A and B are shown apart, each in its own frame.
Chain A
């Protein structure tokens, strides 16, 4: 029992990070209809930036945090400007392939900048763990889950309640009609990229202390985030969030109770099952269509 609770705690913690990655992906999808397969690399950039800024340069944590997020946003903007917007035939399939190419590029650059060795980052807060039903809950976990909820909630609020957020959704739904109502679609796309990659960097910052950070960590995390977003139904933010938590918990339980070698396989088994049984995702957004 105690073991299971322990697995749940760690599952929810990693799950919250997957959730943030998935929300970033899903948010970009719902405002540009683009699936960014380079999203994981922005998570990696966030983690590596916190290594450099906080661990190596010993900047104060809030400053390092802001710097890492800013790096994620800026790289996202550059990516949009240099790779996405210059695409001569901006069909979805072309753009998706561009994102795959960009992920390879970013990984290569990271390898040159940070080298191949993994880094570790100490916990952000150094309090003792809290004991619940015999299982240890690290303060770090509370941090992570809290920040994830805050971030996803913020993005949700932005898209559902603010004028700019709604305009972003309108652009994704019908870009030409959005243009005709006076919404500058390109600017909305740029903003969506910045918010999405920035939130990816946040996920990277939070995952840094609970794993080893290296230039190639992004691929797996990006795919996990993609699985989570698919489980939730692409385009539904809360679905993506729930998908992330679910994936984290199942991974942790599967690794702990069955075999630790199974950890990464679980995400993909789950993805296949979802695609097979309910391809729209478990919590897919309600379609406002009449037929």
Chain B
């Protein structure tokens, strides 16, 4: 569904991504893990069109994304939940969701948008309570839910999430990850970037490890979870280790 070949992204003289290749098949849940500054967000920005001057090839459903504007990419079926939520704080929760559905409204699919409101509100009941509150007043967790809801309003076939668990309490992280698996089971293809490597790999089919702009490792999630290098570098100890009595 999504195929990236030899992608190279740079900011001026700084090369952030050196020749990365990856592929995502329809219905898969793929995670990309890597340390801070590895180039994960840069890779996602190139996919959704916010980054312009990349080299290589990004093909989504047989369509070359080179030179497409971000709105055109959204219309072709990719939605992104950006790093740090980036909700529209002076707009109400409802209006944020409406903005997410902008392309749907423009295609004249108003009744589908109404269904999607219900779908999102059901997924995140707290948003229904807060529907008329200004988005900037939401808590961090609620803002993340809103950011995901907003991306879903465009009915993406591929949902790209950049660190959705950042700065959230374990309970909320669990809930968000549950939502991600539910979405996947409903047929949305998902590309997930995470610091929270263990949690991400546990729900994924496959994973990629990015290190200083290079793809150093890839494999099925189960393989990566037991890989020694991955364990040392990214998994460390987490809550699970203490509860399960295992040691990483």
A residues near B (Cβ < 8 Å) are 163, 166-167, 169-170, 173-174, 176-184, 285, 287-290
Q: Say whether A173 contacts B89, CB under 8 Å.
A: yes
> Is residue B80 contacting chain A, with contact meaning CB distance below 8 A?
yes
Given contacts A181-B102, A182-B102, A183-B102, contact A173 B88 (CB under 8 A): yes
B102 touches A169 (CB 8 A): no
A180 contacts B48, C-beta separation under 8 Å: yes
**Nearest opposing residue in chain A for B95, CB measure:** A166
Chain B 69-108 residues near chain A, CB threshold 8 A: 69-71, 74-75, 79-80, 82, 86-91, 95, 98-100, 102-103, 105-106
CA of A174 to CA of B71, assembled, Å: 14
Q: Does B136 contact A (CB under 8 A)?
A: yes
By a CB distance below 8 angstroms, the chain B residues around A173 are 88-91
Residues of B within 8 A of A176 (CB): 50, 82, 86
Answer yes or no: B150 CB below 8 A from chain A CBs.
yes
Known: A180-B50, A181-B154. A167 touches B99 (CB 8 A): yes
How would you classify the secondary structure of chain B's contact residues: helix, strand, loop or mixed? Answer: helix
**Does B137 interact with chain A (Cβ within 8 Å)?**
yes
Sample of 5 more A-B contacts, CB < 8 Å, known A169-B90, A179-B50, A180-B82 = A170-B91, A173-B88, A179-B69, A182-B74, A288-B135
Q: List 19 A-B contacts (CB under 8 A).
A: A163-B102, A166-B91, A166-B95, A169-B91, A170-B88, A173-B89, A176-B50, A176-B86, A179-B69, A180-B74, A181-B103, A182-B103, A182-B154, A183-B102, A184-B69, A285-B90, A288-B134, A289-B136, A290-B137
Minimal Cβ-Cβ distance residue in A for B140: A290
Closest residue of chain A to B85, judged by CB?
A177
Please name all residues of chain A whose beta carbon is closer than 8 Å to the beta carbon of B70 when the two chains form the complex. Answer: 179-180, 182
Known interface pairs A182-B103, A183-B102; A169-B137 also in contact (CB < 8 Å): no
B100 touches A181 (CB 8 A): yes
Q: In the complex, which residue of chain A has the Cβ closest to the Cβ of B104? A: A182
**Most chain-B Cβ atoms within 10 A of its Cβ — which of A169, A170, A288?**
A288
Q: Are B98 and A163 in contact (CB under 8 A)?
A: yes
Question: CA–CA, A271 to B87, complex, Å?
Answer: 33
Taken together as a complex, chains A and B put the C-alpha atoms of A163 and B70 apart, in Å, by: 19
Q: Count the A-B residue pairs with Cβ separation under 8 angstroms: how many?
A: 81
Size category, B interface: 20 to 34
Within the assembled complex, what's the spacing in Å between the Cα atoms of A217 and B56? 55
Which B residues touch A180, using CB under 8 A?
Answer: 48, 50, 70, 74, 79-80, 82, 86, 151
* Pick from A174, A184, A285, A289: contact of B86, CB under 8 Å: A174
Q: Hey, which chain A residues are within 8 Å of B154, CB to CB? A: 181-182
| Cβ contact within 8 Å between A178 and B134 | no
Residue in B71, B90, B134 whose beta carbon sits within 8 Å of that of A182 in the complex: B71
Q: Which residues of A contact B86 (CB under 8 A)?
A: 174, 176-177, 180
B48→A169 contact, CB < 8 A: no
A166 to B98, CA, bound (A): 9
**Nearest Cβ distance between residue B174 and chain A, in whole angstroms?**
24
A173, A179, A181, A287, most chain B CB atoms within 10 A: A181
Cβ-neighbour of B87 out of A163, A166, A177, A179 (below 8 A): A177
Given the interface pairs A182-B103, A183-B71, the reply to whether A177 lies near B98 with Cβ below 8 Å is no
Q: Which residues of chain A have C-beta atoms less than 8 A from B153's C-beta?
A: 181
Within the complex, the shortest CB–CB distance from B163 to chain A, in Å, comes to: 15
> Please, which residues of chain A bring their CB within 8 A of the CB of B105?
163
By CB atoms of chain B within 10 A, which of A178, A180, A290 has the most? A180
B17 to chain A, nearest CB (A): 19
Q: Is the CB–CB distance between B91 and A289 below 8 Å?
A: no
CB < 8 Å neighbour of B89 from A163, A178, A184, A288: A288
B99/A178 in contact, CB under 8 A: yes
Alpha-carbon distance between A12 and B154 when the two chains are bound, in angstroms: 47
A234 to B195, CA, bound (A): 40
Min distance, Cβ B29 to any Cβ of chain A, angstroms = 21
Contacts of A290 in B (CB 8 A): 136-137
Contacts of B80 in A (CB 8 A): 180
